[in-house]
């Protein structure tokens, strides 16, 4: 019991430090900290019984592979993957939620990192429009590769997505009966998804800043949808492997370039969502089970 408390305390502390670096260090997680977190988590994993050790390693490996694919396609930063692998090693199995009355316990050992992943998605879905519409400053960058924004079309899309969430809820009611928690969660997801679609262009423009190509580092993400098709074709021809993700090889090629490129430097701090998800998952468990 004491060891579990230590694991949870270390996990929360590591999540707080990740969030601190994400917010105050320009979305840059030091490699040394990420590696130290993995080492600490791996050592504590070895204190589990052998079956749990195997389970923990398998889950962590699956998480690592999934987030490596996301990283290579420029969808997330490497630090987010390291953080979730660390969490999966520290606490491989979902513990009994602190607020036990709100959790439907399932007849199998659900990975704790799955609870965190689902909660992260929901928190981010709600947080993105709040962050970019109310907090983040406008960078003044325009999306040059797309047609002018169609407000009517966005309204239709937003209405459709909101109706889809309502349909999902009523479908769940048919199978599992009415659920107040599920209604609240699904309604919030539907509303904030609709808001994100309505203001998608404004949100995207606030994510990007112009940066000299020579200063780009491995792991940076280029906003190719903010580059004209003509310029994108020229860059792809000139630099081998030019795309959303700045690889080590591409960073070396760009060192002598004077061109400025739009880069996702103002992305919402995902580690904040992960920190919130860790706390939510410890308090009430897997939100997916709560919805149904």
Rounded-to-integer distance, Cα 266 and Cα 27, Å: 8
Residue 107's pLDDT is what?
45
Residue 199's pLDDT is what?
86
Residue 150's pLDDT is what?
67
Six-digit token string for 272: 């904040």
Which of these, 279, 225, 234, 276, lies nearest to 259 by C-alpha position? 234
Q: How far apart are the first and last CA of the chain?
A: 30
Rounded-to-integer distance, Cα 56 and Cα 42, Å: 9
Residue 69's pLDDT is what?
87
pLDDT (tens, 9 = 90+) of the chain, 292 residues, equals 678 889 999 999 999 999 999 888 877 788 899 999 999 999 999 999 989 999 999 999 999 999 888 887 767 778 889 999 999 999 999 888 888 655 554 445 789 999 999 999 999 999 988 888 887 676 656 655 455 556 778 888 899 999 999 898 888 888 878 888 888 899 999 999 999 998 887 887 788 888 899 988 887 888 887 888 888 889 998 898 898 888 888 999 998 888 889 888 777 888 999 999 999 999 988 888 777 7
């Amino acid at each position: 019991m004491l060891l579990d408390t230590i694991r949870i305390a270390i996990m929360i502390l590591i999540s707080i430090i990740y969030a601190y670096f994400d917010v105050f260090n320009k979305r840059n997680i030091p490699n040394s900290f990420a590696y130290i977190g993995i080492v600490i988590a791996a050592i504590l994993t070895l204190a589990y019984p052998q079956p749990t050790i195997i389970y923990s390693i398998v889950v962590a490996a699956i998480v690592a592979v999934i987030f490596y694919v996301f990283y290579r396609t420029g969808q997330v930063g490497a630090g987010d993957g390291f953080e979730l692998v660390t969490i999966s090693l520290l606490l491989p199995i979902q513990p009994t939620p602190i607020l036990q009355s709100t959790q439907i316990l399932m007849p199998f050992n659900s990975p704790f990192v799955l609870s965190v992943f689902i909660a992260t998605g929901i928190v981010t879905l709600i947080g993105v429009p709040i962050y970019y519409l109310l907090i983040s400053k406008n960078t003044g960058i325009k999306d040059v590769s797309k047609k002018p924004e169609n407000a009517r079309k966005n309204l239709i899309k937003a209405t459709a997505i909101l109706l889809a969430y309502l349909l999902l809820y009523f479908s769940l009611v048919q199978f599992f009966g009415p659920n107040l928690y599920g209604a609240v969660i699904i309604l919030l997801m539907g509303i904030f998804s609709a808001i994100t679609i309505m203001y998608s262009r404004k949100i995207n423009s606030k994510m990007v800043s112009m940066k000299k190509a020579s200063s780009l580092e491995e792991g940076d993400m280029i906003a190719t949808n903010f580059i004209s098709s003509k310029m994108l074709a020229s860059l792809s021809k000139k630099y081998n492997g030019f795309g959303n993700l700045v690889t080590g090889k591409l960073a070396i090629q760009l060192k002598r370039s004077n061109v400025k490129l739009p880069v996702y430097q103002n992305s919402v701090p995902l580690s904040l969502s992960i920190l919130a998800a860790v706390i939510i998952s410890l308090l009430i468990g897997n939100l997916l089970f709560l919805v149904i």
